[in-house]
Structure 1
């Protein structure tokens, strides 16, 4: 029994840190919400303790005094107890209201006029991500992987192409819904380098659990270099060969690779596909086997996904997988 309790405690605490936890804040917004959560736990814990002490006191008192004696001042003691309880409730609620107001002001204060602008659109079940190039003003599209500059605010404009989704990067900021026909905004100001994990937190269909995205926080110079690479088209010399030809013919109506005849918009932009950490919004790790498996059986790996099963000869499938591995 003791071993089971220890195991349960360890397993529970394991969820309190890592790359997807609101209890390990790595951004201004997450830190403000974490402080509010801590305050709520302290206030609610104090109230819970007071209630328990009141119950214990009542039980002990009932054992020594079976009858309520008004002549001994029992009513006055009861009134005082009610006043104390009511005062504690009012004080607790006041503290929570003030804490909520301070947290809200902290979220607003994190906004910056020169923020990086990003548009994210939720699809069943993947993420279209677009960055506005500060130099040219054009939009640079990628998918399923969000890059953020350290210690600088990113203004993320959220929308949905189909049903209600919800955007959440627990370590960096709170969650916000993505509603069809409406554009919501969330601000992200990360304070720690590294990889984090985001997730859709509004049930949006059969593959809701397979609608994740990776988040990379880089220094400003590294972020600028990454964005410049993402804005570049593929070199023509890398677009020749059997794999490129088959891809354009079979996949080009749904996917786009800049600099080629593949100009589809139904699915993710694959211009720099192989530079990402995962395939199909976190469903598979980026690897040769993962690419081949996804090409062969997308409906088996992610039932209901918009990508159909494409009948390719083994040699053609291998050539397309080889080509996709070059898209970095």
Structure 2
């Protein structure tokens, strides 16, 4: 009997040590999310919600696993035992506990998620920069509304000869420290605008405009992609986001104007020209 107890105790101790030591890694502390702390004004909030949720759920898991192990050990069949053990039914306290605790968890998760979603989705009345992103099979168009210039991209070209495929992708430029409004539209089917390190994505529907509001806080190059299966070359619908200084952003706007990319790409290039809501060639 003592040998079995020692074995169970050793297994429990080893499992606990493994869990505690693995929790020291930075990757696990942020719940296996990208290292996106401080990338935008929303990423820390998202990381906090995600990791706190996992901590709570792991706590529930540890209690549940402990109770299961306890029941297996304490109520196991002894040598020489025959017949069925005494059967217990209608244990009102336990059934109440199993109802109340999940209800508290669900209400809590809902409340904190609703709080953070409200903050993330809050409209910025006077953003510093207004950009329209238009998705298309299988690339992206960018209208820099305030500067009246545009950039149009083609899908990723995997020829096998390029040294860095990301250098060939369409690139969205954003000035660091400025509030941004991204207006999201689609030319054909449902797409989804996803910048991985921004920890947020939003669907893009033909005939309907969605908006994102955020402030990029760290300069750098970030990977973006379509996150909604949109056809044969969905996996090649990639783009870059460059968060740069205001002077570099102004230089980029000037370069687009010099290239002749003056004006705005409109809905005349949309594949869907029979959507309800009036003349589809007029931008709202």
Give the TM-score of the pair, scaled to structure 2: 0.66
Which structure ranks higher in relative contact order (CA pairs < 8 Å, sequence separation ≥ 6)?
Answer: 2
1:42 partnered with 2:60: no
Q: Could you say which residue in structure 2 is the equivalent of 1:131?
A: 144
| TM-superposed deviation, 1:51 | 1.9
Bigger shift: 176-185 or 140-149?
140-149
Q: State the Cα deviation string for residues 103-150 of structure 1 (Å, max 9, x = none).
A: 11321357351331111111111101110125xxx3434442111111
| TM-superposed deviation, 1:214 | 0.5
Distance 1:266 1:114, change over 3 A: closer
Q: Could you say which residue in structure 1 is the equivalent of 2:130?
A: 117
Distance 1:204 1:87 in 2: 42
Distance 1:179 1:169 in 2: 18
Q: Could you say which residue in structure 1 is the equivalent of 2:206?
A: 180
Q: Could you say which residue in structure 1 is the equivalent of 2:235?
A: 209
Which structure shows the higher helix fraction?
A: 1
Stretches (4+) displaced over 4 A: 13-16
Distance 2:239 2:110 in 1: 34
Distance 2:238 2:128 in 1: 24
**Cα RMSD over matched residues?**
3.0
Structure 2 unaligned residues grouped into runs of 5+: 1-24, 79-83, 154-169, 263-267, 271-284
| TM-superposed deviation, 1:228 | 2.7
1:24 partnered with 2:56: no
Q: How does 1:290-301 map to 2 (within 5 A)?
A: none
SS of corresponding position for 1:181: coil
Distance 2:235 2:26 in 1: 20
Distance 2:52 2:76 in 1: 37
| TM-superposed deviation, 1:22 | 4.4
Distance 1:170 1:15 in 2: 16
Distance 1:198 1:154, change over 3 A: same
Contact 2:195 2:201 in 1 (8 A): yes
Q: Could you say which residue in structure 2 is the equivalent of 1:99?
A: 112
Contact 1:157 1:184 in 2 (8 A): yes
Distance 2:136 2:50 in 1: 31
Q: Could you say which residue in structure 1 is the equivalent of 2:197?
A: 171
Distance 2:54 2:194 in 1: 22
| TM-superposed deviation, 1:225 | 2.8
| TM-superposed deviation, 1:193 | 0.9
For this pair of structures, how many residues does the alignment match?
A: 215
Give the TM-score of the pair, scaled to structure 1: 0.58
Structure 1 unaligned residues grouped into runs of 5+: 1-12, 235-256, 259-264, 268-328
Q: Could you say which residue in structure 1 is the equivalent of 2:72?
A: 59
